[in-house]
């Protein structure tokens, strides 16, 4: 029975290709609604349609996915789960514990996922040793995106240390542009915060303070320095930053209204969708002080238990398609990320992706490959949410001291 599913006959294949009536429906929850993201999402849709399945888009706008997760919860609670949902990191385990995720071991075995994935990734996709989710890509989060033309006008170089960052920011301000394009939403605040924590505190600090949530490290002088540096970044953002979507912040760098943005490489998808060329119209450099480290964010789809046979079959098509080399290439060329599959040719990818790929391998050996907290890869969702709120409170409240913030973050980190 199971073998049949993966070795369809020629007749079955042609019926699928012709969009035969028994094709299943695939409803996929995601939050890929910006220019670059939508292009990548449509590559997924097309792949499935080519297999004869019906794609039902379930897009919930909102960078970072907070709104999507709220909608997902209410759908699952009412017994109406989609086929697949963009769920990442420890949340996969949380959903699996609820007993609502489907076992994908048969697809994984047939498609050799264990052999094709880095262990750090396949471990995240499994619950009690069984695959319940499929990874799409690897995003690097600790990037700085800059408009070289704007930097040239201001007469400064793109920064590689935090000292250089503030020197550049001053010069950009004097030149009349917004130095740092930022969107004041808690996941964006935390994306900046974790980049500062890594750049100022280093790899061991990042692990101890933010991943292991060690109380002493969270109350250390290094943490105070991190928070003070983080808050200083705010001086170089504009007054319209609160609430701004990340892609609108990227647009400010694209059109020269701002000099730089700290953001994961989904931002590259926006530059590319706007017809910009990497290395010429925009540059990517690791966030200041973080070139020897890599904060990763793996997008993945968790598969929900379904009842309808044709839909279950279509769900397996989706799982197999996501990991197929051709899809991994097309999708990631649009998304700004790199393929999650090992040993993929990188010749069609640009230099930002090539650097990301090289650094992913190097840091996985050096111990500096780190999960992003801001993007749901490191800590239980309750702690993540509480820590994000505490960091954003400090960012927004100019009366709050770094010491007060340290106490708030340390207490938030205890949430389970």
Question: Which residues form the interface with ligand BGC (CB under 6 A)?
Answer: 31, 37, 63-65, 139, 246, 266, 297, 299, 375
Q: Yes or no: say if 186 and 242 are a contact pair by the CB < 8 Å rule.
A: no
| Residue with smallest beta-carbon separation from ligand BGC | 266
**CB 95 to ligand BGC: min, Å:** 16
Integer Cα distance of 416 and 403 in angstroms: 23
Nearest-approach distance from CB 212 to ligand BGC, in angstroms: 22
Residue 374: count other Cβ atoms within 10 Å of its Cβ: 26
Q: Which is nearer to ligand BGC, 140 or 317 (CB)?
A: 140
**Closest to 226 in 3D by CA, of 248, 254, 194, 260:** 194
Smallest gap from residue 143 Cβ to ligand BGC (A): 13
Residue 223 and residue 239: Cα distance in Å, rounded? Answer: 27
Tokens of 400: 């709050």
Task: Supply the minimum distance, in Å, between the C-beta of residue 187 and ligand BGC.
Answer: 7
Q: Which residues pair with 144 in a beta bridge?
A: 262, 285
In 368-414, the DSSP E strands lie at: 369-371
Q: Between 375 and 408, whose beta carbon lies closer to ligand BGC?
A: 375
3-state secondary structure at position 306 = coil
Q: Which is nearer to ligand BGC, 141 or 410 (CB)?
A: 141
* Burial class for 31, CB neighbours closer than 10 Å (0-12, 13-18, 19+): buried
The vertex-290 CA angle with 285 and 293, nearest 5°, equals 110
Q: Which is nearer to ligand BGC, 24 or 64 (CB)?
A: 64
Instruction: In angstroms, give the least distance from the CB of 171 to ligand BGC.
Output: 29
The smaller minimum CB distance to ligand BGC, of residues 139 and 408, is found at 139
Residue 43 near residue 263 (C-beta atoms within 8 A) = no
Closer CB to ligand BGC, 320 or 374, in the complex = 374
Choose among 66, 138, 62, 80: nearest CA to 305.
80
Nearer to ligand BGC, 17 or 61 (CB): 61
What is the closest distance, in whole angstroms, from the C-beta atom of residue 299 to ligand BGC in the complex?
Answer: 5
> Least CB distance from residue 376 to ligand BGC, whole Å?
7
The residue (of 52 and 63) whose beta carbon lies closer to ligand BGC is 63
DSSP labels, 130-182 = EE-EEE-EEEE--EEEE-HHHHHHHT-PPPSSHHHHHHHHHHHHHTTSEEE--
The Cα–Cα gap between 120 and 88 comes to 13
Instruction: State the nearest-atom distance from the C-beta of 181 to ligand BGC, in Å.
Output: 15
Among 266, 232, 267, which residue's Cα sits nearest to residue 250?
267
């Amino acid at each position: 029975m199971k073998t049949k599913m993966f070795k369809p006959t020629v007749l079955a294949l042609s019926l699928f290709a012709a969009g035969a009536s028994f094709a299943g429906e695939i409803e996929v929850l995601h939050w890929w609604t910006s220019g670059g993201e939508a292009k990548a999402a449509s590559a997924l849709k097309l792949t499935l349609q080519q297999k004869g399945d019906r794609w039902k888009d379930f897009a919930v706008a909102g960078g970072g996915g907070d709104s999507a997760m709220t909608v997902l919860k209410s759908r699952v609670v009412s017994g109406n789960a989609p086929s697949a949902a963009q769920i990442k990191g420890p949340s996969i385990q949380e959903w699996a514990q609820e007993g609502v995720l489907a076992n994908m071991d048969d697809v994984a075995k047939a498609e050799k996922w264990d052999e094709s994935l880095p262990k750090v990734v396949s471990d995240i996709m499994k619950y009690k040793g069984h695959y319940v989710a499929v990874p799409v890509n690897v995003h690097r989060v600790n990037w700085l995106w800059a408009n070289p033309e704007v930097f040239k006008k201001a007469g400064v170089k793109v920064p590689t240390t935090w000292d250089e960052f503030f020197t550049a920011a001053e010069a950009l301000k004097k030149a009349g542009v917004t130095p740092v394009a930022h969107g004041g939403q808690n996941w964006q605040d935390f994306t900046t915060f974790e980049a500062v924590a890594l750049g100022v505190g280093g790899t061991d600090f990042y692990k101890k303070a933010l991943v292991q949530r060690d109380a002493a490290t969270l109350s250390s002088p290094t943490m105070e320095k991190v928070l003070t540096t983080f808050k200083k970044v705010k001086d170089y953002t504009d007054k319209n930053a609160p609430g701004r979507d990340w892609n609108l912040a990227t647009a400010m760098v694209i059109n020269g209204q701002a000099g730089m943005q700290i953001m994961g490489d989904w931002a590259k998808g926006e530059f590319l969708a706007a017809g910009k060329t990497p290395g010429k119209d925009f540059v990517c450099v690791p966030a200041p002080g973080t070139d020897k480290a890599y904060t990763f964010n793996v997008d993945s789809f968790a598969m929900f238990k379904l009842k309808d046979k044709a839909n279950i079959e279509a769900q397996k098509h989706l799982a197999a398609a996501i990991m197929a080399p051709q899809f991994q290439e097309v999708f990631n060329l649009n998304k700004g990320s790199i393929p999650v599959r090992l040993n993929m040719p990188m010749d069609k990818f640009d230099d930002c992706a090539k650097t990301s790929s090289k650094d992913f391998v190097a840091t996985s050996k050096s111990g500096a490959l780190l999960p992003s907290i801001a993007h749901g890869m490191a800590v239980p969702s309750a702690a993540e949410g509480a820590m994000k709120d505490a960091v954003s409170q400090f960012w927004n409240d100019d009366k709050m001291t770094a010491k007060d913030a340290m106490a708030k973050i340390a207490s938030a980190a205890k949430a389970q």
